[in-house]
């Protein structure tokens, strides 16, 4: 089984290539990062000792605009994973037709073993290492795993010290006080909800669709609340420790309150299940919102959902995709389904460049328009080419990148 995330990306590019009439040079550009930046950074611990950490930034493709993508602080992120995420960002931005490219970065360490002051020093050291490669018109980072708005503020502060001027558009995901935008914390889930409502097959769906959500972090919990408010029945929820199931439905707000008090998921009348059981439970819509490679050739034949919405990055392997296609299960791919986050990050970048503040109504209206229009475009491509939604999304996104590569540079 192929679970290498970058190999999965290459498989999908190869599948799309025959329909795009690519030259060898263009195919190579789609398969290889423009730049892989790596540097060891030195960070002083609170004890006075100095430690060296490996930092990196993968700039995958900027044919359509500045590199865009998060920075993660995590001990296990390897180069293949980061390359895959950077590549997916390039495709994702093209699918929703925003003028950004794809990038990703990180520092390999466990932030849980570091104090807040030490994490701030890591953030500043990262910016010092890569400052010449970052900027509003070149590479615009954002939060990712174990980074947040405070860390983005810290990175912005360090960058502005280096360049000697105000530059809020060089990074997104900031606090509102530093130029952040309203709605960024819920954008991934809200964008996914707009896409789901646009694409869900009404003929196969009951009046109150049953939804199972793997992952109850920010995106998963927000999605559960949004869908519950819109008449969907949440029947299963899980986090890294396990999950709960109730055919009668689960109140996600009550579950979140219980988890915040006790650290565990629980709901009245619900039974305890494993993450594996959640994926295979009785539901209409399955939403993987946690880790990659969750849906594989081992479990794909056992899923009961008719629709899968990928709120996580890379939750489905190519082998599972083939099984879902043979079973007529609709997979709404991550490069469309979770693009609400980067779309609102793009709004933040615009807001900072324009020097004005967008309100909630403007963010929501423009997010809904972009996500619904993009969903329609992907569905139209799927119908035209007689392919799956993932294949259609990759065709659409890669074609837009190739069109930019072919366009004369001014």
29-62: burial string, b at 16+ Cβ within 10 Å, e else: bbeebbeebeeebebeeeeeeeeebebbbbbbbb
186-204: burial string, b at 16+ Cβ within 10 Å, e else: bbbbbbbbbbbbbbbeeee
Using alpha carbons only, what angle is made at residue 189 by residues 185 and 192, rounded to the nearest 5 degrees?
Answer: 145
Element (H, E) at 90: helix 79-95
Is 104 among the catalytic positions? Answer: yes
Evaluate whether 235 touches 247 at the Cβ level (below 8 Å): yes
Going by the DSSP 8-state scheme, the letter that residue 248 receives in this structure is T
- Residue 311 phi, psi dihedral angles, 5° rounding: -80, -25
Q: How is residue 128 written in tokens?
A: 């010092």
Using alpha carbons only, what angle is made at residue 221 by residues 216 and 226, rounded to the nearest 5 degrees?
Answer: 150
Smallest CA-to-CA distance from 213 within 233, 230, 197 is with 233
Q: Is 286 helix (H, G, I), strand (E, B) or coil?
A: strand
Helices (H), 300-407: 318-326, 334-337, 340-354, 360-385, 389-406
Q: Which member of 68, 92, 104, 174 is catalytic? A: 104
Element (H, E) at 87: helix 79-95
Any idea which residues carry the catalytic annotation? 104
């Amino acid at each position: 089984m192929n679970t290498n995330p970058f190999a999965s990306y290459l498989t999908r590019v190869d599948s799309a290539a025959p329909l795009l009439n690519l030259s060898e040079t263009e195919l190579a550009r789609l398969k290889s990062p423009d730049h892989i930046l790596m540097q060891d950074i030195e960070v002083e611990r609170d004890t006075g000792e100095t430690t060296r950490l490996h930092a990196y930034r993968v700039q995958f493709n900027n044919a359509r605009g500045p590199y865009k993508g998060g920075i993660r602080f995590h001990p296990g992120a390897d180069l293949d994973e980061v390359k895959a995420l950077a590549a997916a960002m390039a495709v994702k931005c093209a699918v929703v037709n925003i003028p950004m490219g794809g990038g990703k970065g990180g520092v390999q360490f466990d932030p849980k073993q570091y104090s807040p002051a030490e994490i701030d020093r890591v953030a500043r050291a990262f910016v010092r290492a890569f400052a010449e490669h970052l900027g509003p018109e070149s590479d615009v980072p954002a939060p990712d795993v174990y980074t947040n708005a405070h860390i983005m503020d810290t990175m912005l502060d360090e960058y502005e010290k280096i360049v000697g001027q105000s530059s809020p558009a060089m990074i997104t995901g900031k606090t509102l006080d530093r130029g952040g935008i309203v709605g960024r914390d819920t954008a991934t889930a809200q964008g996914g909800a707009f896409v789901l409502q646009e694409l869900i097959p009404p003929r196969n769906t009951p009046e109150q669709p049953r939804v199972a959500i793997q992952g109850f972090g920010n995106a998963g919990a927000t999605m559960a609340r949004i869908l519950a408010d819109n008449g969907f029945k949440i029947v299963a929820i899980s986090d890294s420790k396990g999950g709960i199931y109730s055919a009668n439905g689960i109140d996600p707000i009550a579950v979140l309150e219980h988890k915040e008090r006790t650290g565990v998921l629980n709901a009245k009348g619900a039974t305890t299940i494993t993450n594996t059981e959640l994926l295979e439970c009785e539901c209409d819509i399955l939403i993987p919102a946690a880790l990659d490679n969750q849906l594989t050739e081992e479990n794909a034949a056992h899923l009961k959902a008719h629709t899968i919405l990928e709120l996580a990055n890379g939750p489905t392997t190519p082998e599972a995709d083939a099984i879902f296609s043979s079973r007529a299960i609709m997979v709404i791919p991550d490069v469309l389904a979770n693009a609400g986050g980067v779309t609102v990050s793009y709004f933040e970048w615009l807001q900072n460049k324009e020097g004005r503040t967008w309100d909630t109504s403007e963010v929501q209206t423009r997010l809904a328009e972009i996500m619904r229009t993009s969903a329609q475009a992907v569905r139209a491509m799927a119908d035209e080419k007689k392919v799956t939604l993932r294949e259609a999304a990759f065709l659409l996104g890669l074609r837009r990148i190739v069109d930019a590569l072919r366009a004369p540079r001014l």
